[in-house]
Amino acid sequence: MQLKVPQDSKKTLNLGGQLLDLSIPRVMGIVNVTPDSFYAGSRVAARTDEVIQKVGQMLAEGATMLDVGGYSTRPGAVPVGLEEEWERVEPVVEAIRRYFPEALISVDTFRAEVARWAVERGAHLINDVSGGTLDEAMLDTVARLKVPYVLMHMRGTPQTMAQLTHYDHLVPDVMRELRQKLIQLRQRGVADVLIDPGFGFAKTIPQNFELVRNLAAFQSLGCPLLVGISRKTTIWRTLGITPDEALNGTTVLNTLALQAGASILRVHDVRPAVEAIKLWRATMGVD
């Protein structure tokens, strides 16, 4: 069954005093400072020259923000210690701030300490794949930092989530779990929250497609939607290809996400996502 909820979500985001208009969908470029992320093309070493090249290309292609991550959260990923995660993230954030001072930086972490350190060094947004479930200090920390927060749905940890895919009713269950965390964030005074249904996190491939079909329902939470399905297993296993070959499939699902009201596309490949948004807007007759 496909759920359709024609409610409008908030369409602005306050990033370090800069009000970002999300009535035009935006692109978030993925910068993985990890040796084991599932898509090798997204990995970047924490060296200034490589960071500058990668980030400069993404910004030139139209990325509105960059998502820096130092902990691979693919299914079964090897855990990384707090200090090691920060040692990966810190030089990248500092390089971006130095060479691209106008760039908007998101840090992909479920650890409150990494979030705090990153914002102190200039990050504008925290993207937490665990939705506050893996570090009980995260929600309070985000509230104190007064930065936007990506609330993603996940169960368990990256090491256990593949075994936690039982739902009585997938979409209502995911929405209920997200709503509970959203209430906690609002109680703490967090004004800017993005909702991410968590494609691939404690979801089977059929469940991921069910989320795509019902993505518009998540607008009922009253927050902008962030979709991160770029080159994921759902695409390449369904098509019988590899992550390296999954760009076309990514563009198809990103376009469906735009039709369902997605405000931000989190992607490995910036230019195709920017082009998808431009063509979608032209098709919709939007200037």
b/e code 181-206 from CB counts within 10 Å (16+ = b): bbebbeeeebebbbbbbbbbbbbbee
Q: Using CB atoms within 10 Å of the CB of residue 107, give its burial: 0 to 12 exposed, 13 to 18 middle, 19+ buried.
A: buried
Residue 231 annotated to the active site: no
Residues near 18 by beta carbon (within 8 Å), at least 6 away in sequence:
104
Q: Which of 179, 203, 266, 281 is catalytic?
A: 266
Q: Which of 111, 155, 181, 232 is catalytic?
A: 232
Residue 266 annotated to the active site: yes
Q: Radius of gyration (Cα) for the chain, nearest Å? A: 17
Residues catalogued as catalytic: 232, 266
